């Protein structure tokens, strides 16, 4: 009988541990429970085993099984989980390996904290796909920048890969939500890479759609049109490395003109005048379809170099489309400047985190143009290492809508605007 009793005690003890592990509430309820709840326990001896379950036992069990809802709560689910007394341990000083990379949240409602500990105050919660700059990491915690402040998040809820969202990429870029329609947006010196810009006294203007709002902001960048832009040089790449392909600036160069002058059409019209006309037509088309539009340039001159244009777009827009015509003279058709398939280039940030979005946007625009009957050059893609691409943290493309010999009548421009707007719709799944 003694043997049976001790066996039952062990079983009951195991049961208590199990139940304690499920939840604190269950532990409390256990104070009234008996082994008779357990089907494999002989009912005859149930009451005697209950006698062994003193208040002291329960208190001890509670101490052992501190439940750290917070730890689990960092994935936002707030599921109860047992954490082996981790709460009782003093949090050791965290050391971080310095990094500089874009990361994305992999779960919903993840806690962003003021310190690298689950006991640190929660600054805010972030949802799946939210993008942050990571400045340090260790196996448990990552140091990130949130609204200009240092904050911390559990490393396992971060990925360096941009997440594919079912609604397209509208929430992956910057946001213009804080600005009113008509807002003049200057380069904010605190924005990433803003310090690399040399010409930035001008501003872009935001226009918000009145009807059928999509809450997607398209940056429309009329290529060229910066007085003095070709006598100033800026770094080709944010990290100071050399260009990997030749173009207006040769391969191997570290610096390039801040904004080039652009070509002149065979009929004597400047490229900058045509890109401006194109930008205005595209703005009208996009607004009518419910897109907000950030206009980089609305007259002959805007004092924003290619880096300033790109950084403003990064921080306010969902995608960035720079309008150009190529300097060849064969009326060869439209194409986008693809991201060169050069390992060092595709591994360089922010290209590494963004290049697939550039390619997807470029393909979508070409598809949209093709659908309107626009002539396409080859497969519609020519890889080129551009300042715009090198600094873009959102889907961003330089599209060449033709060349020196191409027609740029109002009718053609309007057709191109429809094709580009269709392409934006393809990209965002609208």
Residues in touch with Zn ion (CB under 5 A) = 223, 262, 324
- Nearer to Zn ion among residue 223 and residue 238 (C-beta): 223
3-class state of residue 16 by DSSP: helix
C-alpha–C-alpha distance, residues 357 and 427, integer Å: 9
| Residue 170 to residue 315: CA distance in whole angstroms | 13
Distance CA 384, CA 376 (A): 17
Smaller CB separation from Zn ion, 158 or 276: 276
33, 37, 41, 43: CA torsion to nearest 10: 90
Q: How far is the CB of 323 from Zn ion (least distance, A)?
A: 8
Per 3-state DSSP, the chain is made up of helix, strand and coil in percentages (nearest 5) of 35, 20, 45
Residue 94 per-residue DSSP state? P
Q: With respect to Zn ion, which residue has the nearer C-beta, 118 or 389?
A: 389
Q: Are 314 and 191 in contact (CB under 8 A)?
A: yes
Q: Give me the least distance between CB of 223 and Zn ion, in Å please.
A: 4
Given the complex with Zn ion, which of 118 and 275 has the nearer CB atom? 275
Supply the minimum distance, in Å, between the C-beta of residue 356 and Zn ion. Answer: 24
- In this complex, which beta carbon is closest to Zn ion, that of residue 75 or of residue 271? 271
**DSSP conformation letters of 291-312:** -EEEES-SSS-----HHHHHHH
Tell me how far, at minimum, the Cβ of 393 lies from Zn ion, in Å.
22
Q: Which residue carries 């610096």 as its tokens? A: 255
Pick from 273, 83, 303: nearest CA to 204: 303
CB of 322 to Zn ion, least distance (A): 8
| Minimum separation from the CB atom of position 398 to Zn ion (A) | 8
Pick the closest to residue 278 from 424, 426, 420 (CA basis).
420
Q: How far apart are CA 133 and CA 192, in angstroms?
A: 10
Instruction: Please state the closest distance from residue 106 (CB atom) to Zn ion, in A.
Output: 39
Residue 340 Cα distances to 336, 347, 353, 355, angstroms: 12, 11, 14, 9
| Strand 376-383 to 334-338 pairing | parallel
Residue 333 Cβ, how far from Zn ion at the closest point, in Å?
15
Q: In the complex with Zn ion, which residue's Cβ is closer, 354 or 388?
A: 388
Q: Which of 247, 370, 395, 263 is nearest to 324 (CA)?
A: 263
**CA-CA distance, 197 to 297, in Å (whole number)?**
17
Determine the Cα–Cα distance for residues 187 and 305; give it in Å rounded to an integer: 10
CB of 364 to Zn ion, least distance (A): 21
Q: Looking at beta carbons only, is 5 or 250 nearer to Zn ion? A: 250
- Comparing CB distances to Zn ion, the nearer of 272 and 287 is 272
C-alpha to C-alpha distance for 245 and 236, rounded to whole angstroms: 11
We find the least distance from the C-beta atom of residue 265 to Zn ion, in angstroms, to be 11
In the bound complex, which residue of the shown chain has the CB atom lying closest to Zn ion?
A: 324
Closer of 223 and 333 to Zn ion (Cβ): 223
Question: Which one, 140 or 407, has the nearer CB to Zn ion?
Answer: 407
Measured CA to CA in angstroms, residue 102 lies from 130, 137, 350, 366 at distances of: 10, 12, 8, 28
Q: Please give the Cα distance from 154 to 117 (Å, whole number).
A: 9
């Amino acid at each position: 009988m003694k043997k049976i009793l001790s066996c039952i005690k062990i079983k009951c003890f195991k049961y208590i541990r199990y139940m304690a592990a499920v939840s604190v509430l269950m532990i409390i309820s256990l104070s009234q429970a008996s082994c008779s709840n357990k089907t494999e326990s002989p009912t005859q001896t149930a009451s005697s085993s209950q006698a062994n379950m003193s208040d002291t036992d329960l208190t001890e069990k509670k101490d052992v099984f501190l439940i750290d809802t917070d730890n689990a709560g960092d994935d936002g689910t707030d599921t109860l989980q047992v954490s082996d007394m981790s709460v009782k341990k003093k949090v050791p000083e965290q050391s971080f390996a310095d990094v500089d990379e874009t990361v994305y949240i992999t779960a919903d409602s993840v806690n962003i904290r003021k310190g690298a500990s689950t006991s640190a105050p929660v600054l805010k919660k972030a949802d799946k796909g939210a993008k942050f700059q990571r400045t340090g990491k260790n196996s448990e915690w990552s140091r990130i920048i949130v609204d200009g402040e240092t904050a911390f998040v559990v490393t396992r809820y971060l990925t360096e890969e941009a997440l594919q969202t079912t609604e397209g990429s509208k929430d992956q870029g910057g946001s213009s939500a804080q600005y009113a329609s008509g807002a003049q947006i200057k380069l904010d010196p605190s924005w990433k890479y803003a310090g690399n810009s040399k010409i930035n006294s001008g501003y872009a203007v935001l226009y918000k759609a009145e009807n059928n709002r999509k809450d997607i902001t398209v940056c429309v960048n009329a290529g060229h049109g910066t007085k003095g832009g070709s006598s100033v040089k800026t770094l080709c790449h944010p990290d100071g490395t050399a260009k990997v392909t030749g173009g207006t600036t040769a391969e191997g160069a570290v610096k390039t003109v801040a904004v080039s002058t652009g070509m002149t059409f065979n009929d004597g019209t400047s490229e900058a005048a045509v890109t401006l006309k194109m930008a205005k037509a595209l703005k009208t088309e996009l607004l009518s379809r419910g897109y907000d539009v950030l206009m980089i340039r609305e007259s002959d001159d805007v004092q924003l170099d290619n880096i300033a244009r790109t950084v403003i777009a990064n921080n306010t827009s969902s995608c960035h489309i720079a309008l150009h015509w190529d300097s060849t003279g064969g009326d060869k058709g439209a194409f986008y400047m693809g991201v060169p398939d050069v390992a060092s280039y595709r591994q360089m940030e922010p290209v590494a985190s963004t290049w697939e979005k550039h390619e997807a946007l470029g393909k979508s625009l070409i598809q949209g143009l093709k659908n309107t009957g626009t002539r396409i050059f080859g497969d519609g893609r020519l890889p080129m290492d551009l300042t715009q691409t090198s600094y873009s943290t959102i889907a961003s493309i330089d599209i060449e809508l033709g060349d020196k010999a191409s027609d740029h009548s109002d009718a053609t421009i309007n057709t191109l605007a429809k094709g580009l707007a269709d392409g934006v719709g393809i990209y965002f799944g609208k």
